[in-house]
Amino acid sequence: MNAEDQKRLLREMIFYRRFEDRTFEAYMERKIGGFLHLYSGQEAVATGVLEMARTGHDYVITGYRDHVHAIKTGAPPREVMAELYGKQTGSSRGRGGSMHIFDPTVHFMGGYALVGQPFPLAAGLALACKHKGSDQIAICFLGDGANNQGTFHETMNMASVWKLPVLFVCENNLYAIGTRIERSTAVTDQYKRVCGYNIPSSQHDGQNIETVMEAAKNAIDHVRGGNGPYFIEFMTYRHRGHSMSDAKGYRNKEEEEQWLKRDPIVLYTEKLRKAGVLSDKDIKAMEKAIDDEIENEIIKFAEESPEPRVEDLTKYVLDDNPDPRWIGPLQK
Ligand SMILES: Cc1ncc(C[n+]2csc(CCOP(=O)(O)OP(=O)(O)O)c2C)c(N)n1
Ligand SMILES: [Mg+2]
């Protein structure tokens, strides 16, 4: 990878971190309501995997921790922020909020609140790709906890039998809300669980973005090459609580400190600094430009956007009244 791409990827990860930090503040100021699950600490996974995908062409789907996945897929950050604010200009026209970012114009097929819901939807998207005879694939992100849902097992079986072009990306952050993985899951290495469905799989470090990219490239090549599904697991950690009302009492300080040392942004910044790609001054300038962009373009847009109108309440909800932006792209 050349230095320009490395710098861009670091900038993207810092942008995602600052975006999430700023949503935290807006939530505390009561500008964002409802549930809010932040992605801080896991940035290298979505950034690295989607860097290797053909965004806008492939279909991407995930759970409720979805802001970064949506933006990296191509949803405009200011529309994602406006959605968090519940505004009419939001990705889902203010109807969805944090857990339901949706932008089919870039084939981001949603965040979903129900754990395990995206598995069968991803299989459906992959089946559609297969029927169309296209080289598109579906990429389904999900947490370690989601793999204990019935939908996981049903989907893995059908995806394998039908050789569907779907990549399952497990973000194993060791916890499902406050339950540590050993307490809920008999086989804690998630990649081993799909051997019963004859799906090839592997496990990798999710904190090193270049490792993620290399692993994702191999997995995507496998799926796009017509070989059926692949299941890839990344070991990672969320820095913040599960959602905003979580004081993290179930985790110990030593564990958190260990993972903070392996923060994906810290690791990549160190690597690029040592390689002479970036100086401390460059990093400071980068952070300043990101903060300005978030404040002056993204937050400003969300704050100044109108609320949805009461008389439009049922608009875009039912099939007979879709958002015109969504009609064409869904057919592509
Ligand atoms: C069907 C369903 N059951 C339970 C819940 C409550 N719930 C919300 S998040 C969550 C844990 C999911 O953990 P994981 O898949 O590891 O994702 P992470 O939050 O770690 O990203 C649970 C049980 C839900 N949203 N949907
Ligand atoms: Mg988890």
Q: State the average pLDDT over residues 226-243.
A: 97
Distance 328 CA to ligand 1 centre (A): 32
* pLDDT score recorded for residue 332: 67
* pLDDT score recorded for residue 285: 97
Structure-token pair, residue 237? 């950690």
CATH architecture under which domain 3-331 falls: 3-Layer(aba) Sandwich (3.40)
What residues are neighbours of ligand 2 (ion), with CB under 5 Å?
Answer: 143-145, 173, 176
pLDDT band at 188 (very low <50, low <70, confident <90, very high): very high
Distance 146 CA to ligand 1 centre (A): 6
Distance 180 CA to ligand 2 centre (A): 8
Is the distance from the beta carbon of residue 174 to the nearest atom of ligand 1 less than 6 Å? no
Distance 179 CA to ligand 2 centre (A): 9
Residue 329 has pLDDT above 70, yes or no: no
Distance 183 CA to ligand 1 centre (A): 15
pLDDT band at 99 (very low <50, low <70, confident <90, very high): very high
**Residue ranges per structural domain of the chain:** 3-331
Express each pLDDT in 154-164 by its tens digit.
999 999 999 99
Express each pLDDT in 286-326 by its tens digit.
999 999 999 999 999 999 999 999 998 888 877 667 777 77
Q: How far apart are the first and last CA of the chain?
A: 31
Is the distance from the beta carbon of residue 97 to the nearest atom of ligand 1 less than 6 Å? no
* pLDDT score recorded for residue 279: 96
Is the distance from the beta carbon of residue 285 to the nearest atom of ligand 1 less than 6 Å? no
* pLDDT score recorded for residue 14: 98
Residue 245 has pLDDT above 70, yes or no: yes
Express each pLDDT in 15-27 by its tens digit.
999 999 999 999 9
Closest CA to 300 of 106, 96, 87: 87
Chain length of the chain: 332
Express each pLDDT in 262-276 by its tens digit.
999 999 999 999 999
Express each pLDDT in 246-265 by its tens digit.
989 999 999 999 999 999 99
Is the distance from the beta carbon of residue 242 to the nearest atom of ligand 1 less than 6 Å? yes
Using alpha carbons only, how large is the chain's radius of gyration in Å? 19
* pLDDT score recorded for residue 330: 65
Residue 41 has pLDDT above 80, yes or no: yes
Q: Of all atoms in ligand 1, which is nearest to the CA of residue 181? A: 16
Is the distance from the beta carbon of residue 143 to the nearest atom of ligand 1 less than 6 Å? yes
Q: Whose CA is nearest to atom 21 of ligand 1?
A: 143
Rounded CA gap, 39 and 242, in Å? 9
Q: What is the pTM of this model?
A: 0.97
Beta bridge partners of 138: 59, 166
Residue 64 has pLDDT above 70, yes or no: yes
* pLDDT score recorded for residue 274: 97
pLDDT band at 208 (very low <50, low <70, confident <90, very high): very high
Q: Whose CA is nearest to atom 20 of ligand 1?
A: 176
Is the distance from the beta carbon of residue 146 to the nearest atom of ligand 1 less than 6 Å? yes
Is the distance from the beta carbon of residue 144 to the nearest atom of ligand 1 less than 6 Å? yes
Residue 141 has pLDDT above 80, yes or no: yes
